[in-house]
Amino acid sequence: MTKKDKIIIFDTTLRDGEQSPGATMNMNEKILIAQTLDKMGVDIIEAGFAIASKGDFEAVNEVAKVVKDAVVCSLARAKRPDIDAASEAIKTAKNGRIHTFISTSEIHLKYQIKMTEEEVLEAIRDSVSYSRNLCGDVEWSGMDATRTRDDFLCKAVETAINAGATTINLPDTVGYTTPTEYAELIQMVRNRVPNIDKAIISVHCHDDLGLAVANSLAAIGAGARQIECTINGLGERAGNTALEEIVMAIKTRNDALPYETNIDSTQIIRASKLVSTITGFVVQNNKAIVGSNAFAHESGIHQDGMLKNASTYEIMTPESVGLHKSELVMGKHSGRHAFKKKLEELGFNLGDNVFAQAFADFKDLADKKKEIYDEDIIALLDNNAIKVVEAIELESLQIICGSDGKPQSNLELNIKGRVEKAETTGDGPVDALFNGIKKLVPHGAKLELYQVHAVTGGTDAQAEVTVRLNNDGRIVTGNSRNTDTLVASALAYLAAVNKIGGLKE
Ligand code: KIV
Ligand code: ZN
């Protein structure tokens, strides 16, 4: 067997993904996602845009501390203060990268950055060489590359490589290109840029026309060797290239796509669920690879074929993406040993303190729910990992509702150590409850999303609730799970309110 070309997987869930309106993540959540990406074998994790805010800077810095194997990268515009912030933020990483970008298309130069081509070339020289003095691994991106004049794009790429860029990214920023056209662009750059052999070509596609994955695969056919992507295809507007689709296309059709990646595909479902839970962005049922129907066979003819031989209608196994049959695992009689074994099976290796907490929570859950499934345990662990000590905590909640009378909520919150009570009514039980929270914690944030879904089947399933609030343009998401939908709703709302911080006293 000949050695296959390696495709470098660059994940930008924490940067481009977080740019989707409503997908804001806090530090804890970013760390948990970064650890998951690291564990699944992602080569480079773009952890954020360090100059964007103090929170972004700290998140990149903390992610850089915990990531063990992947290179940790920060984005920076072609400006020295951006580059200084990126360099400082990734200092804690074992291996760091600065990713600096500037627009190259005529449209962007004329209307957005108002620079001439000469000025852009000068900015590339300065930003890339400045970055290279701070970090040995520098990626340069020509924003809107797919709508850039060929001559100028080649000049810009040559300039970036001469200044020290080790990776050249040619983004389809507006999701405009097509597979054939993109492959031709990559080929053109490889043919015309004299020093192109000194850098790796990277591609970064947006999915506005639903072509991001096809464009990325066409680009590797033409010689690109790094693909920028996100879990669940999260990202600006219609999103980015979906990591899971790239990885499974290469794995499943290795005859047609003879490359290899470092990704352990059995971690895909776990990563997908985590990102979906944290952001509140539900994965559509029929989404390739990670949708809930991706491995479900409904029609009689398909079921008949599957029973005779799975290969009749299944091109990859559910296990290859980490999907296991939802087995009944344990109940309230299961002990520590069985719980530990189950965690190992699910790929969790917890320290003593975290294990003790998880076991106590598992016992609590088993008291409320007879049948505990794998999904319940994963949800419980994610809940604990994301949870931080909050300024406002739920003390107790009683809801009275039914066919007669107005729903009523009796709520007790612990606000910075003081227990406060509210009795409120509303147009429904959730409305009554949220009115209670608003009464005890006055705020102007608008509710943008209230979403409930069941973690498993059955009427005793845990409810997973997501609440998204818009506080003067700052969007925060809170989520929680509980066997009681209203308790989960209260916890999710409080998680979002806590993220807003700065409560009116
Ligand atoms: O879409 C884009 O062009 C980007 C760049 C910053 C790489 O996200
Ligand atoms: Zn992008």
For residue 70, what are the contacts with CB-CB under 8 A and spacing of at least 6?
37, 38, 42, 43, 44, 45, 95
Q: What average pLDDT score do residues 441-470 get?
A: 91
Instruction: For residues 488 and 481, give the distance between their C-alpha atoms in angstroms, rounded to a whole number.
Output: 5
Residues 6 or more apart from 26 whose CB is under 8 A from it? 55, 388, 499
Is the pLDDT at 504 greater than 50? The verdict is: no
Which phi-psi region, left, alpha or beta, contains residue 210 (left: φ > 0; alpha: ψ -120 to 50)? left
Q: Calculate how far, in angstroms, residue 143's C-alpha sits from the geometric centre of ligand 1.
A: 6
b vs e for 297-329, b when ≥16 Cβ sit within 10 Å of the residue's Cβ?
beeeeeeebeeeeeeeeeebeeeebbbeeeeeb
CATH code: domain 5-279 is 3.20.20.70
431 pLDDT band, cuts 50/70/90, is very high
Distance between CA atoms of residues 38 and 111, nearest Å: 39
Q: Bigger pLDDT: 243 or 298?
A: 243
Q: Which of 243, 345, 234, 237 is nearest to 289 (CA)?
A: 243
Instruction: Determine the Cα–Cα distance for residues 373 and 394; give it in Å rounded to an integer.
Output: 26
Residue 500 contacts by C-beta under 8 Å, 6 or more apart in sequence? 443, 445, 469, 471, 474, 476
Report the pLDDT value the prediction gives residue 472, as an integer from 0 to 100.
87
Give me the pLDDT at residue 387, please.
66
In the numeric block, which tokens belong to residue 297? Answer: 């066979």
Spatial contact of 59 and 34, defined as CB atoms under 8 Å apart: no
Q: Determine how many CB atoms are found less than 10 A away from the CB of residue 30.
A: 26
- Which amino acid would we find at residue 342? K
DSSP string of 103-129, one letter each residue: E-SHHIIIIII---HHHHHHHHHHHHH
Question: Phi and psi (nearest 5°) for 31?
Answer: -65, -45
Distance of alpha carbon 232 from alpha carbon 18, whole angstroms: 12
Residue type at 425 in one-letter notation: T
Mean pLDDT computed over 163-182: 98
Q: How close is the Cα of 111 to the center of ligand 2, in Å?
A: 19
pLDDT, averaged across the chain: 92
Q: Is 16 near ligand 1, meaning CB less than 6 Å away?
A: yes
3-state secondary structure 178-228: CHHHHHHHHHHHHHHCCCHHHCEEEEEEECCCCCHHHHHHHHHHCCCCEEE
Q: Whose CA is nearest to atom 8 of ligand 1?
A: 16
148 lines ligand 1 (CB under 6 A): no
What is residue 286's predicted lDDT score, i.e. its pLDDT? 94
* Domain 392-500 in the same topology as domain 5-279: no
Q: Atom 5 in ligand 1: which residue has the minimum CA distance? A: 143
pTM for the model: 0.88
- Residue 329: the pLDDT is 65
Check residues 350 and 492 and name the one with the higher pLDDT: 492
pLDDT mean over 112-127 = 98
Residue 223 has pLDDT above 90, yes or no: yes
Q: Looking at residues 202-227, what average pLDDT do you find?
A: 98
Q: What integer pLDDT is reported at residue 502 of this predicted model?
A: 46
Is 141 close to ligand 1, i.e. is its CB under 6 Å away?
yes
Q: Is the CB of 434 under 6 A from ligand 1?
A: no
Q: How far is the CA of 5 from the centre of ligand 2 (A)?
A: 25
The CATH number fitting domain 392-500, selected from 2.30.30.90, 3.40.50.720, 3.40.640.10, 3.30.160.270 = 3.30.160.270
Question: Across 58-187, where does the E strand assignment appear?
Answer: 71-77, 96-103, 138-143, 167-169
Relative to the alpha carbon of 46, which ligand is closest? 1
- Quote the crossing angle between the two packed helices 485-500 and 429-440, to the nearest 10°: 30
Q: For position 2, what pLDDT does the model report?
A: 59
- At residue 328, the pLDDT reads 53
- The larger pLDDT score, comparing residue 330 to residue 435, is at 435
In the predicted structure, residue 503 carries a pLDDT above the cut 70: no
Does 167 sit in the ligand 1 pocket, CB within 6 Å?
A: no
For residue range 60-77, what is the model confidence (pLDDT) as tens digits? 999 999 999 999 999 999
**Least confident span in 46-60, 246-260, 272-286:** 272-286
What is the residue extent of each domain of the chain? Answer: 5-279, 293-323, 325-385, 392-500
Q: Quickly state the pLDDT bin for 458 (edges 50, 70, 90).
A: confident
Average of per-residue pLDDT across 290-305: 83
**pLDDT given at position 354:** 85
Query: What average pLDDT does this structure show over 398-417?
Result: 95
Q: What is the mean pLDDT of residues 191-204?
A: 98
Q: At what angle do helices 54-66 and 27-40 cross, to 10 degrees?
A: 40
Within 10 angstroms of residue 86's Cβ, the number of other Cβ atoms is 29
Question: Percentage of residues in the chain with pLDDT exceeding 70?
Answer: 97
Ligand 1, atom 3: nearest CA belongs to which residue?
Answer: 173
pLDDT digits (tens, 9 = 90+) for 270-287: 999 999 989 989 899 999
**What's the Cα-to-Cα distance from 72 to each of 173, 220, 458, rounded to whole Å?**
22, 23, 41
| Digit-coded pLDDT (tens) for 19-38 | 998 888 989 999 999 999 99
- Percentage of the residues of the chain whose pLDDT score is greater than 90: 74
Pocket test for ligand 1, best of 103, 153, 204 (most atoms within 8 A of CB): 204
Phi and psi, residue 50, nearest 5°: -50, -35
Q: Which of 174-178, 289-293, 367-371, 402-406 shows the lowest mean pLDDT across its residues?
A: 367-371
Question: Which protein residues have a CB closer than 5 Å to ligand 2 (ion)?
Answer: 16
DSSP one-letter code for 172: B
Placement of tokens 């998401």 in the chain: 477
Question: For residue 418, is pLDDT > 60?
Answer: yes
Residue 505: the pLDDT is 39
